Amino acid sequence: MEPTTNPIVDYERIAPGARLANLAAEFYEDDSLYVAKSLNLSLSELAKTYNGELAFTPALALHAEEEFGVPVCLWKRLEDNYRLFNAWGLVKPQRASAFVNGAKILWKVNRLDYAYPPGNHFVDMLSDRGLDKADGARILEISQEDFARLQDGELPFTLDYAKAIEREFGVPASFWTGLEDDWREFKGQKEWLRKFENPDQLKPADCLVHTCELLQDALEDQNLSPDDLARKSELPIELINKILSGEERLLESPINPRLGWLSDVADALCIPFEFLRDLETQLYADDKEDFI
């Protein structure tokens, strides 16, 4: 069962250690033992560095530069940003809610409340090497006006730009394309979050959760237990537990819906039937047109 497609960023992925993990996978096919040894870390420390639990120290940044070609100044900036915004509570899973047809619907959101364009990081790297924006424009073979737009994130940081930097400085192109992916997702997420300013315009396709997660949130919001839902819906508790865990679907298929189960659960939690039905059927995107 695949999740719905939306602009969403895993908050752990933006830790500098996650960048390290991506490079390790690219260079050494996830040979953790070799990577840990080359970075002077234990396997446990490497895992904690990957997910942001351990600080990305200057010594580690130096080892990472030697191993992967990404300069210390970039690792330091990524680490400083991650720790600062994490301390401010801006890098963590959150929830958002809206009223749809009079019923409160909850969405789980891994919000990314900050991101910087890769061009911004590139300017920092240039400065660290005694170069300026004119040098950057020359390296990328673009005008200074376009370079300014690149720095501000208005111009996409293409693979060609990433390869040009790799040729000039040895920083892997994948490092820059990863930063660009985060920047674009961040901008897309901001657009997505604006939809909550007009809840009436929300559609099930805007939801970031599986049906089972939405039901779990609805139970929590209404201070209900699975037993309460079983009692209110008059469905067996064993079935309710399977629905809440995602083992059992409310719809068997787009053309053979279990409308009884769905209707019972929707009524019990005061969720609009049509909303819950559409959310469930969108998981079958390829067959959606066949739904009756």
Closest CA to 138 of 158, 105, 165, 175: 165
Question: Which residues, including other chains, have CB under 8 Å from residue 156's CB and lie 6 or more apart?
Answer: 180, 184
What domains lie within the chain, and their CATH numbers? Answer: 11-192 (1.10.260.40), 210-290 (1.10.260.40)
Element (H, E) at 60: helix 58-68
- The Cα 196–Cα 270 span in angstroms is 20
On whether the pTM is more than 0.85, the answer is no
Question: Which residues, including other chains, have CB under 8 Å from residue 103's CB and lie 6 or more apart?
Answer: 270, 271, 272, 275
3-class state of residue 248 by DSSP:
coil
- The Cα 146–Cα 152 span in angstroms is 10
Instruction: Compute the C-alpha angle 88/90/94, nearest 5°.
Output: 130
pLDDT in single tens digits along all 292 residues of the chain:
232 333 333 444 567 888 888 888 888 876 788 888 889 998 888 888 887 888 899 999 999 999 999 999 889 888 887 777 666 555 544 444 544 444 444 444 444 445 678 998 999 899 989 999 999 999 999 999 999 999 998 899 999 999 999 999 999 998 898 888 878 877 766 665 555 555 555 555 555 456 777 788 778 777 889 999 999 988 899 989 988 887 887 776 555 566 678 888 888 887 777 777 777 776 554 334 433 3
The residue with tokens 């790297």 is 125
| Residues 111 and 102: beta-carbon distance below 8 Å | no
